[in-house]
Structure 1
Amino acid sequence: MTDTAEQNTGIRVRGLEKSFGGQHVLRGIDFESARGTSTVLLGPSGSGKTTVLRSLNALEVPERGVVGIDDVEIDFARLPPGKAGRRQSERLRAQSGMVFQSHNLFPHRTVLENVIEGPVLAQRRPREEAVADAKVLLDQVGLGDRVDAYPFQLSGGQQQRVGIARALALKPRVVLFDEPTSALDPELVGEVLAVIRDLAAEGWTTVIVTHEIRFAEQVADQVLFLDGGVIVEKGTSAQVIGDPREARTRRFLKRVLDPG
């Protein structure tokens, strides 16, 4: 356990270990993210980025390691079985909002109904309050005029922006983005990245898995480069992207930025 002062600040990750079958996908992940900062996870496919992200809200349960968000902390090696363990996982999960690669909107519900689903059903907040908050958030992501639209009436970029508003509607302490533009046509990527950039500028605590290197340069307070289930290099975007120390980092960036 960390002391009280440390527990009240941002994200803490210590010694995450995770295997799938015989594959050891996380090999002792350690990092911290201060409250109000943006951390970007970069790395090749299969490096463990998404597993780290999903471990932050216990969608994946590591065999070992500690995850803390502000004053909520789980030691996964000591997670009790059954209901007690599920309650601990749910308490950690409640600290964050997740934006997935695919939009995962309810097709039979309007934009507004999609955004208020979590606050009303999961958090038991009054519907009137949830609706008022949702309209503010939809304005924020540029969709204030589409509250009554259905997902099939929206572009992929608009659907992903609804997904961001839906995550924010839960009033999380941390917002987690898992490759939020990977399922979009290239011309729609910019509108989603602009919303995420604005959130970071407003002081939301974010952790972002992305392959958009130039976006990472602009938005990240901290960049973690993962490969083979370990953090190979971490630092500011200027350090890790602009002047990487490790050969593995340099090879990855060259392959992504100069594929020819």
Structure 2
Amino acid sequence: MTDLLTVRGLRKSFGDLQVLRDISFDVPAGTVTAVIGSSGSGKTTMLRTLNALDRADAGVIDIGSVSVDFAQPVDRATLARFRAQSGMVFQSHNLFPHRTVLQNVIEGPVIVQKRPKAEAIEDAKVLLEQVGLGEKADQYPYQLSGGQQQRVGIARALALRPTLMLFDEPTSALDPELVGDVLRVIKDLAADGWTMVIVTHEIRFAQQVADQVLFIDGGVVLESGPPAQVLGEPSHARTRQFLQRILDPI
């Protein structure tokens, strides 16, 4: 299976704080990678470097045909091609409140990618149906639940036609009863063969959907492998401690 994403020697500091120390991993095309770890472990920063929302200080990231060595100067054209490879879904949906659902979804394709508006609208309608919100196209974000807004956020990322989907704890800001609808959409994307990297605290969801799990601790990948191994029979004491606290917090 060909790797869509390869990461080698990723490092990132904020001032004197070294957040990513030496991150390396591969993501085969058509697979789901779940990233777990405690708050402050570096997992969200790592995800953001994959889209250059946070520019890594060093390390090589290959996504599809685009390769960037962040230890070297990167020109704007290369950085734009790199960012175009992935779509990001954030913890908070970040929708434009003064625009309808449909207008939110077509914003990127029309404004950023300069695609014809009619084509973007047709694509958006298909994507909204895909995430179960076809009838909400003309509504505004304030008229939607948090879970519905997050599903619009997923459709908006898909509308950019990325090769890689990135999710930063997509259910962490939702009420518990709304989590299932969002997770079902992500499961459907996995079944459709999307390549995804998902930072999540939903351990059982990771067990069901992920092809591999990365446990990040102290800015390094402390353990990685299939869910049955990392989540079921972890080899590292720190991984076992983390999972015990998550799954049996009392």
Q: Which residue of 1 is the match for residue 51 of structure 2?
A: 57
For 1:33-72, list aligned pairs within 5 A: 33-72=27-66
Q: Any stretches of 5+ residues in structure 1 without a counterpart? A: 1-5
Letter in 2 for 1:12: T
Number of residue-to-residue matches in the alignment: 250
Q: Which residue of 2 is the match for residue 137 of structure 1?
A: 127
Question: Which one of 157, 169, 176 corresponds to residue 166 of structure 2?
Answer: 176
Kept after mapping to 2: 8 A contact 1:41/1:210: yes
Matches of 2:87 and 2:194, distance apart in 1: 11
Q: Where does structure 1 differ by over 3 angstroms across 4 or more consecutive aligned residues?
A: none
Matches of 2:236 and 2:249, distance apart in 1: 19
C-alpha displacement at 1:9, in angstroms? Answer: 3.7
Q: Does 2:158 correspond to 1:158?
A: no
Matches of 2:161 and 2:5, distance apart in 1: 16
Letter in 2 for 1:248: R
Question: Which one of 106, 128, 132 corresponds to residue 116 of structure 1?
Answer: 106
C-alpha displacement at 1:88, in angstroms? Answer: 2.1
Matches of 2:79 and 2:53, distance apart in 1: 8
Kept after mapping to 2: 8 A contact 1:18/1:27: yes
C-alpha displacement at 1:87, in angstroms? Answer: 2.5
Kept after mapping to 2: 8 A contact 1:57/1:89: no
SS at match of 1:57: coil
Q: Does 2:229 correspond to 1:239?
A: yes
Which deviations, in whole Å up to 9, do the C-alpha atoms of 1:3-46 show, x marking residues without a partner? xxx9x740000000111111111111000001110001000001
SS at match of 1:73: strand
Question: Which one of 93, 110, 119 corresponds to residue 83 of structure 2?
Answer: 93
Question: Which one of 25, 39, 61 corresponds to residue 19 of structure 2?
Answer: 25
C-alpha displacement at 1:90, in angstroms? Answer: 1.6
Q: TM-score, normalised by structure 2?
A: 0.98
Matches of 2:118 and 2:8, distance apart in 1: 40
Letter in 2 for 1:27: R
SS at match of 2:245: helix
SS at match of 2:87: strand
Matches of 1:130 and 1:208, distance apart in 2: 26
